[in-house]
Amino acid sequence: MDHPVTPPRQTLTPERWIDAATELLVDHGIDQVRVDVLARMLQVTRGSFYWHFRDREDLLRGVLQAWRAHATEQLTRRLESAHEDPREQLRDLLTLPRRGRAATRAARIELAIRAWARRDTMARAAVDEADSTRIGYIAQVFSALGFGIAEARQRAFMLYAQLIAESLLADHGSPTQRQDRARFAERLFQQPLS
């Protein structure tokens, strides 16, 4: 007599737990990122969590590491390798907030992590490190455009602040207005002050 074959349960990877934790963080805030909530969400027992993580803090560290890897390290490498011309790199930077669903998701994660960082030192350290690394990369672009180190850092900070604002205000104005703002910012940021 044949017995029905039950499909094997999908093994959850640490990355799947981290993705689920990130979803909870974005949709419900850091207080809801708990092992019991995640286990219910993933339809597994709490015990399977402990195969991958020592505790909740270990998971949260993983969330921050995944965010850093994706939103800072991989993105910077991709931008650097896409163009040798710093003007093209600047243009790419200015289009980041308008890159569809991926940009919207990245902005939501960024906002959730920044909210978490207002009350948690581990998250604050991760945000500070990301900001410093990103501003450093943008300063290199401005240096390659011929600006001195001090001015390149100032321009990098201003551009970075503008990118964050554009991400948060992604729906402000029509697509044409958003493109016009990016073109204006490109001209503005390349313009010498004197």
Which residues are CB-contacts of 171 (< 8 A; sequence separation ≥ 6)? none
Locate 150 and state its tokens: 């001090």
pLDDT given for residue 97 in this prediction: 87
SS (H, E, C) 63-90: HHHHHHHHHHHHHHHHHHHHCCCHHHHH
The lowest-confidence range among 70-79, 98-107, 118-127 is 98-107
- Quick: pLDDT tens for 56-68: 999 999 999 999 9
Distance of alpha carbon 100 from alpha carbon 2, whole angstroms? 50
The predicted model scores a pTM of 0.87
How many Cα neighbours within 13 Å face the side chain of 61?
Answer: 7
Distance of alpha carbon 81 from alpha carbon 62, whole angstroms? 27
Q: Where are the domains of the chain?
A: 64-190
pLDDT given for residue 10 in this prediction: 58
- Quick: pLDDT tens for 122-140: 999 999 999 999 999 999 9
